[in-house]
Chain A
Amino acid sequence: MDSNIEALVAALPRILDGVWITIQLTLGGAALAMVIAVVFGILARSPRTLVRGFARTVIEFFRGTSLVVQIFWFFFVLPQLGVELHPMAAGILALGLNYGAYAAEVVRGSINSVPTGQWEATTALSMTRAQRMRRVIFPQAWALMIPSLTNLLIHLLKGTAVVGTITIADLTFRLDSLQRDTNTFFAYGLGLVIYFVLAYVLTLIMNALEVQAKHRLGRGESLKEALSLRSPDTGVAAGEAARS
């Protein structure tokens, strides 16, 4: 066990490098995915058949053709067509397009489930289409879509583990070198724990975003209240304070 710890200390800088690459891929992929999700989620609701058809084709294409195929396509095929991509760019592009296509469906579904009365109200207030989306519909849809987006974000994080195949030295790739100095259970057990912690932190951040989004809509407590340690039942305490 001691030799394991020694090997881990020696390998730590490389492992942390790998963790950093994994985080970059996850955040970069998520940022691109979010842009694609919002753009195509809204386009997929367009009344114009041509626009809607285009959005649907793109969404189904990137949902249907498998993440690994897309990664290899960007890495192996694009150079043969004369487009040279940095491996990180290829990785982020594939992750962003693939999970963005899934998230576009979430965005579309959430916008659709904002109550009809809210849409009618924006018409009654003669808002423009942009105002309606930005000020009324999207904030409500956003609160609805966060739980599903959290799931997708965890899937994206887990999906990054495959980029070792296109020469990116991510966490999974680094575990392989740790395994040579320690053993399988130690190296990959540690790797699984690191991924779990990353996923857990992402979930906590997304939960905070959800609390905040709901609070902005006037539902539920604010983030500050949710994070404070005192008990949520303040009725009695307030009464007590008034009496003393």
Chain B
Amino acid sequence: MLQSKSDHLFNATNLFFLTVIGLVTLFPLYYVLVVSFSDPAEFIRNKATLFPKKWSLDSYRYLLSTDSFIRAMGNSAFLATVGTVFSLFVTSCLSYALSRRRLQGRRVMMLLILLTTLFNPGIIPPYLLIRDLNLINSIWSLILPVLTSGWYVLLMKGFFDSIPPSLEEAARIDGCNDIGVWWRIILPLSLPSLAAFGLFYAVAYWNTFFTALLYINDFNKQPLQVLLQNMLIDSSTASGGTAAAEMTAEQQIPSETLKMAAVVIATIPILMVYPFLQKHFAKGAMVGSVKE
């Protein structure tokens, strides 16, 4: 009896704290939504409210009518889809080859891949490489250098290791070569894992910012995150205190409502894939990483 009483207390306290944590996590996102749906003029007059006094879709309407925003969305969408397909292709091909124990030179290749996860040459040498390859201002400069990573290759290889070899042998007897085995047997069997990695790649490509800052100068080729940076941060009040804030209001630099509408639109694709992500990522993140 005593035991269950303390159990109840434990559960209640636990539930309470986790609820608070959940609310703290959600509040900023909720507030972004509120601001984005507020009437711009009304928001400037009343500033913070926890619920919009006057609903308005003006910010969204304005944003979606500007070419630059639509173009940046398009650039990021291209990046996320094409980049993800290429990344999955390269990662799974290499991981599968490395998962075959009979492959000669396998140990050396894996060691060399592991080394790349331990040491990176910094920012400048890759920048010079991209410049020498004439990829500055090309969207491929945001895809090729991050096609895959040592971690992902080793993780996916760990996953392929767990597929029983008898399946491969059966396919071989039916006349498949290695590429056939990979395409017809291994990939279909690893769809959940591919989904997990694919979604990680897609999110990373969608959120590409730093490499775009380095490699893309052409305004028309900028992905969404760089445009967002220009909107949200460059013109923000943080850089110069109140004087800048007044200037901002006068010059009609994006209002808070417009900024937050941009944040919401930029987040929608992530929220759309999120349910799928949730289903698979625990598996994807776990693949080969926890030894039991």
- Specify whether A and B are partners: no
Residues of chain A at the chain B interface (Cβ within 8 Å): none
